[in-house]
Amino acid sequence: MHNRILGAVVAVFGSLSASVALAQNMTLTSAEVSDGSTIKDAQVANVFGCKGGNISPSLSWSGAPSDTKSFAVTVYDPDAPTGSGFWHWVVFNIPASTTSIPLGAGDVKKKLMPKGAVQSRTDFGTDGYGGPCPPQGDKPHHYIFTVYAVDEDKLQFAKDHNVSAAVVGFELHFHSKAKASLTATYGR
């Protein structure tokens, strides 16, 4: 009996470590934003006193689990003085065949996202990408760009662009198979 339990425990931890190893193989890169870099003016917002280009960076990813059914992308600022951070970009239901998003795809008017992808409300109150714009004189904020490999074709509760980032985050918490992030900073 003891050997069967020990065998089961080893099997469970073996499968968990395989999942973790798989997740560690997923990578996210961008031609415009790199891990540890300062975000350029082209990606900065053009609201709240910021005068950037508000152009979403291109993103490319690889190493997702083979049974991934869709992807999601978020950009989050944990340093925003809101008590809950600030969501700058929320995209979900990106087809599993997609491994990149082009420069400027966060502008919903340009229609550069793959068919079926949904850009939902950010904390700016609009759909699509909203670049960094921390308060003047605040320490530089961290902007976490994350791609998630999702185990569903379409998120269950997130049906359209009106869904909040919190609901998307809730679903991603339970349906992400792997993820990759890069963090850049911006201050003014």
CATH number at residue 35: 3.90.280.10
- pTM (two decimals): 0.86
Instruction: Take residue 162 and report the two structure tokens written for it.
Output: 């009106």
**Is residue 145 within 8 Å of 59, Cβ to Cβ?**
yes
pLDDT (mean) for 135-141: 96
Whether the per-residue pLDDT at 5 is higher than 90: the answer is: no
**Is residue 114 within 8 Å of 70, Cβ to Cβ?**
no
**Is residue 73 within 8 Å of 146, Cβ to Cβ?**
yes
Give me the percent of the chain exceeding a pLDDT of 70. 86
Number of H helices and E strands in the chain, helices first, is: 2, 8
Tens digits of per-residue pLDDT, 9-30? 333 333 333 333 344 599 999 9
Give me the percent of the chain exceeding a pLDDT of 90. 82
**Is residue 132 within 8 Å of 142, Cβ to Cβ?**
no
| Residue 88: strand, helix, or coil | strand
Domain count, the chain: 1
- 158 pLDDT band (50/70/90 cuts)? low
Question: If you average pLDDT over every residue of the chain, what do you get?
Answer: 88
- 175 pLDDT band (50/70/90 cuts)? very high
**Closest by Cα among 8, 37, 6, 9 to 185:** 37
Around Cβ 33, how many Cβ atoms within 10 Å?
24
pLDDT (mean) for 106-125: 96
Q: How far apart are the first and last CA of the chain?
A: 64
Distance between CA atoms of 184 and 78, rounded to whole angstroms?
12
The residue segments making up the domain with residue 14 are 2-186
